[in-house]
Every structure is written in structure tokens, then in C-alpha cells.
Chains A and B, each alone.
Chain A
């Protein structure tokens, strides 16, 4: 985690010192729906019947983004927000276990966006691609298991639309797909292992301000 803590300020400072342009910063606030479409490698462990699996739930949270326009078309965007609480439900041969664990996913993302249209246009669609880092914190299990989840680094892509209002205000909406894959180890009387591909689709909308 340390490198990333150091990387953020460095990145923000560096962006701030880039050639200044009018209204080349955008801060956005929004509500986001984190829909997972998870797939796992199945749950393996001593005493776990074959066909044991789990699926993850969806979550709603809010997010904050900061985008630095480096050209009228290209912006570098940082996305952060309140880590959503993701729950996991046992399925398959162990469905009787019910909800087995929950965790918060801390999921900063850096995207490079291409904005269509001219600055100041009413509607400016954009697409972006970047990289997502996800760390799971506050991992809890309803069973006497100590659960560990590896960090995930993966690509992220998004498509969105800015609606420029009068003044500096913006309404926006976006949909993003992120590769979030994590190895899970649950240690109790035995050791359970699985790899979860969360396959989240993230729907967000909110307001922004240019400055």
C-alpha cells in the first residue's frame, strides 16, 4: 500500500504544475452503484464438499473524482470514494452457510479520458481507460474464519457523458468496467481457498464543478 500513498500526492502535484489552462480541473461528486457479476474458481478446502461456491453482492456508495485536463480533449482522472461493503453469499453445495463474509473494497482508479466535442459544448461524451487498484479492508466472516484477500490490480474502462450547465457546473453519468480479481484464503479449523473475479460494472452519476 505504501507506494500508492506516496504516488497520489506526487501525481496531484505534478498534474497541478502542468501547463495551466482555463478550467482545466474538474471535481465530481456522485452516487455509484457497484454491481458485481462475480465468478470464482470454486471453494476448495479440506472437508468442503465438491461444488462449493460463493457469489458476491452489489453495493451502493458515493464517489469523488478529480480530473485534470491536459488538453481540451484529454484528461487524467483519479477516482476514489467511500469503499463499498461487498458481501459474499455461499452457493452451490454449501448454500446452507448463507452469508459467509463481508469486506470493504478500497478501490482507487486512474483513468485517461478522451472527451469528444469542444470545451463548453452542452454535451460532451467521453471514454477512458486506466488502471484500478483494489484493496480489501474490514474483512469479516460470520464463521470463525480469518479471511485474507489479496490486492487486485487490473485495467478499468469507462464511458460517460458530461452535461455542461451554465457557469462551471456539470451533470455527469458514467458506466465503468473494472478487472478486480482477488485470491481469498479463509483460515479456521481448515483452510479454504478460492479466487474471486468480481467483474464489477460500476454505474455512477452526479454533479461536477470546473475550476
Chain B
């Protein structure tokens, strides 16, 4: 009697079974980008796409001191404005010995593309496309009804291609967008949530039905963020890399729930807002997996600054420096939300919109979401560090 064949067969069968194991389902967003340059660039332009965080002065005419759209302007950047205040995109350009000017300037129906081209030597500097309120694809951005241009990132890129024909390997291309899509989706979610809560309070639906309705409203908002992120990734692939860009850094969107505007939300709404940012970033990562770009997560910096302000020379990371009441007065009642677009930090001037005691360098936030001049410096330092770590600068 020979036992061996059966044991041997069992072993073979076991080996075959083990060979079948695994087959792990794919987890979107778990991959990474690949093939971005690893050598120093010889940059001739900083080409920046995005929203208010990257806006280098699109809406300055709305802050005309003479109220006729003409200079001088007391605002124009979503930060603590002054004669010398700059945003992160400009800081990076300066560090590279370059100049970046707005790609379009205007407000309320009238705008001029590449105003710097009035002086021919500066014609190639108008590569600051970021516009306050801009979304990824949808032209109906935040503040559009009030006169903001809100040209979406999709069109910003198309405008660059229309003016310059293509991207160059000497362009440092930067993208930072997504928050305005979050704000739009949060608005829609909040409206549904209010209705659901009212229905639940009135007993028209059960608590379980209410939770399910809220979950579905959140899923719908997350679905919209997924779509926006995959669209952005598509533009990066098809309209930027495929059109000649070599040095492309894509910033993940900042989580607005950890800014003063987010702090003002109820806890569960904050959770939804964070989820929308995380959802966007997950799909942006997924959409760019394997692409020759670099991803930078500015939330790492923001969280660190909130946890350890002193490391960044900050003394206040919770309160906006801009005073909504002062800005309301300065704008003759037009602006009541304290938007830093209208916030000037120059000491002693009548149009100074700063809260008493606030400091544009040691406080982090200018308004509910935007950084001060010091905050922008912190951001550009961080981005520069990342670019150095890539070997790009």
C-alpha cells in the first residue's frame, strides 16, 4: 500500500490553489506618478493655473480707488494687499529670476487679456491664469454673478495654448484648483441636508431614511468632485503634457475644512467638506497615476503650520487679519463678507482693511480661506523645497 501519491497530489493541489490566491482588487488612488524630469530646468516662465489662491491680480479693477476700474487699486490679490505684497506664484517666479503677470484682468463684463503685453518686453509674462472663483471645468464659478470672471482651469489652459501655441520645456507649469468646486458642492449638499433635517424633524421621514438621504447627498457631492478631479487630470495629460510641457507640478487641493471658514461650520458639515477635498485628491492622484508630473500636497504644510505655528514664524493661525466691517465701509457697502480681495494692509492709509492688531506676516489667514502675505511666503517656500527635492530648481 503506497500512501505517497495522494500526499504528493494534495501538495500539488495546494500549490495550485496558492498560485490562484491573491487576485487583489485594484485600489484607485494607490498608485503614483511616474517619469517626471529629475534634472534642473532652465525656466523662462512660470505658468500657473488655478483659482484665487494663485490669482496674481485678475480682479484689481474691482478695487479701484477711484471706483472707475482704473488704477490705483487698493486690492486685487486674495491676500493682505500692499504695494509689495505678493502671492506664492509670484514668489516662486522671483526666486527663479522671472516675472509672472495676470493672463487676464477685469471685472463685471470687461476684461483685457495679457495687459502686460502693452509693453512688448513683458508680452511673455502674462502666464498667471489663476482667477478667484474659478472651477475646474464649469464656467459658473464662485462670485460670477457679482462680476468675477471665473474662467475655469479648462479654459485657462486653452487660453494659454491660444496665445502661446504650446507649452515649452522651459515652462514651470503649476496647477492648484478644486476648492471652488468643493464650495459649490458644499452649497448643494447643505441645501439638501437642510431639507432632510427639516423632513426628519417634522417626522416626514424616519431617522434612518434621513441618514440615508444625507449619505446619498454626500455621495452625489463626492461624485461631482471625482468628476472634476478626473477632468483636471485629463487636462493635465491631454492639454498640458501632450502639448509640450515637461515640468508640471500639480498641487492637491487644500482642505477648506481646516481654514477659518471650515472652523465656522458645524462638525458634521466640516467632515463632509474634508471628505470632498479628500475625494477630489484621491481621484486627482488616480487620474495622474503613471503620468510624468509631480504631485505636491500643500495640506501637509497647512496641517503642520496649524499644529506648530512657531515653526513658521506664525503667531495666529485661527483668525482672519482682514476686518469685514472695515472692508464694508471701504467698499461703500458692496463687500460684506470680508473678502481679502479688498483687504489692504498698508499701515496708515484710509483704505487699510486690517483688523486692529493683526499682522500680515505673522498671522496665517487673510480671510476665511486665503493666506496672508506671510502665509503665501510660507506656501512658496514649501513649494520651492518640493521643487528642489525633485531636482527641478
Contact = CB atoms under 8 A, between A and B. Distances in A.
B28 A150 contact: no
Contacts of A68: 6
B196 to A, nearest CB: 12
Contacts of A47: 218-219, 222, 271-272, 275, 278-279
Interface residues on B, range: 35 or more
Interface in A71-85: 71, 74, 76
B3 A74 contact: yes
* Main DSSP-derived SS at the B contact region: helix
Interface string A47-66: 10100000000000000000
Interface in B1-23: 1-3, 5-7, 9-10, 12-14, 16-23
A190 B282 contact: yes
A189 to B, nearest CB: 4
A196 interface: no
Contact of B17 (A94, A153, A188): A153
A96 B213 CA distance: 10
Interface in B87-132: none
A21 to B, nearest CB: 9
B215 interface: yes
A143 B9 CA distance: 43
A76 B222 contact: no
A46 B25 contact: no
A15 B272 contact: no
Contact of A131 (B14, B211, B219): B14
B29 interface: yes
Interface residues on A, range: 35 or more
A19 B25 contact: no
A66 to B, nearest CB: 13
A152 B9 contact: no
Interface in A86-121: 94-97, 110, 112
B21 A153 contact: yes
B20 A148 contact: no
Taking each of B10, B18, B20, B218, which has the highest tally of chain A beta carbons within 10 Å of its own beta carbon? B20
Contacts of B16: 3-4, 6-7
A74 B7 CA distance: 10
* Main DSSP-derived SS at the A contact region: mixed
A183 B21 CA distance: 11
A185 B275 contact: no
Given A15-B6, A185-B26, A153 B12 contact: no
Nearest to A71: B1
B142 to A, nearest CB: 22
A136 B45 CA distance: 53
Contacts, number: 126
A3 B20 contact: yes
B25 A153 contact: no
B17 A189 contact: no
B23 to A, nearest CB: 4
B212 interface: yes
Interface in B172-225: 208-209, 211-212, 215, 218-220, 222-223, 225
A18 B226 contact: no
Contacts of B225: 189
Contact of B26 (A19, A97, A148, A189): A148
A96 B27 contact: no
B219 A151 contact: no
B219 to A, nearest CB: 5
B10 A151 contact: no
Given A46-B222, A46-B279, A47-B279, A148 B25 contact: yes
Given A70-B6, A71-B3, A150 B14 contact: no
Contact of A130 (B10, B27, B219): B10
B29 A97 contact: no
Interface in A1-57: 1-4, 6-7, 10-11, 14-15, 18-19, 46-47, 49
Interface of A: 1-4, 6-7, 10-11, 14-15, 18-19, 46-47, 49, 68, 70-71, 74, 76, 94-97, 110, 112, 130-133, 135, 143-144, 147-153, 183-185, 187-191, 193
Interface of B: 1-3, 5-7, 9-10, 12-14, 16-29, 208-209, 211-212, 215, 218-220, 222-223, 225-226, 271-272, 275, 278-279, 282
Given A74-B6, A153-B21, 11 more contacts: A7-B17, A19-B2, A47-B275, A71-B1, A97-B215, A110-B10, A133-B20, A189-B220, A189-B225, A190-B222, A191-B27
By Cβ-Cβ distance, the 6 closest A-B pairs, closest first, are A148-B25, A47-B275, A189-B222, A7-B16, A189-B223, A153-B21
12 contacts: A7-B17, A11-B12, A14-B5, A19-B1, A47-B275, A94-B215, A97-B212, A151-B23, A153-B21, A183-B25, A185-B25, A185-B26
